[in-house]
Amino acid sequence: MIGYDQSPRYAELVRRVWGEDSEILPPGLLLEIDRPEWRIFKRELDWTTGRLSIAAAPGNFGHFQIACPAGRIVVPTSVHVITAAASGIALTIDAAVLAAPVANLGIDTRLPFAVGPGAPQVGSTNAISNAAGGIGGYRYVDFNAVAGIATRFDLPRPPIITPGHNFTIWDQTLNEAFVAYIFGYERPAEPEELAP
């Protein structure tokens, strides 16, 4: 493939994997579906929220939110939830912004670790809430969780979350303890990518 060097993300991947002098890539190589350990060379960072847990609150829906910081593109790819009862789970985009966000956790240990004990952090954040109010944002998809066991849901078409926007996972059963793990990746955004 000639001309990959005009795309900085791919040029860095090729330089790191095949060496400084690569001018032509081997035939049949597909850059977007190759080895997961190469993603970091394209500046794509895989992350998890780690375990998110919210206590039951009478009259309220527990929910977790992923937010995108300035200069990034964030792509959630799967959601794992545990509910006490069989519950409907709603995924929405652009719900009301939650307070007290914390950084998501990198799952590539080549990333710098936080000071002290912990895990490597990325730019995207997560927050939790069981405050009053109904399900907010526009609905992206719904799915059903099985009571008491981890239910995994791969997103049918991963949403593209840009700066100032968010992705929220709602337990549609009122007053229920709710646990989730959310997975995805993020990368730097070029200014021309942030508008159609």
pLDDT the model gives residue 134: 87
- The residue ranking higher by pLDDT, 53 or 121, is 53
What pLDDT is stored for residue 27 in this prediction? 65
Q: How sure is the predictor about 80, in pLDDT bands with cuts at 50, 70 and 90?
A: very high
Report CA-CA distances (Å) from 190 to 74, 116, 141, 194.
Answer: 13, 32, 28, 7
Residue 62's pLDDT is 93
**Whether residue 12 has pLDDT greater than 80:** no
pTM score, whole prediction:
0.82
User: What integer pLDDT is reported at residue 194 of this predicted model?
Assistant: 85
pLDDT single digits (tens) 114-160? 665 678 889 999 999 988 888 999 999 999 999 988 999 999 899 99
Q: In this predicted structure, what is the pLDDT of residue 49?
A: 96
Q: What is the mean pLDDT of residues 69-75?
A: 96
Paired with 80 in beta bridges are 152, 181
- Smallest CA-to-CA distance from 128 within 81, 189, 88 is with 81
pLDDT at 70: 95
User: What pLDDT does 2 receive?
Assistant: 56
**Confidence bin at 101 (pLDDT 50/70/90):** very high
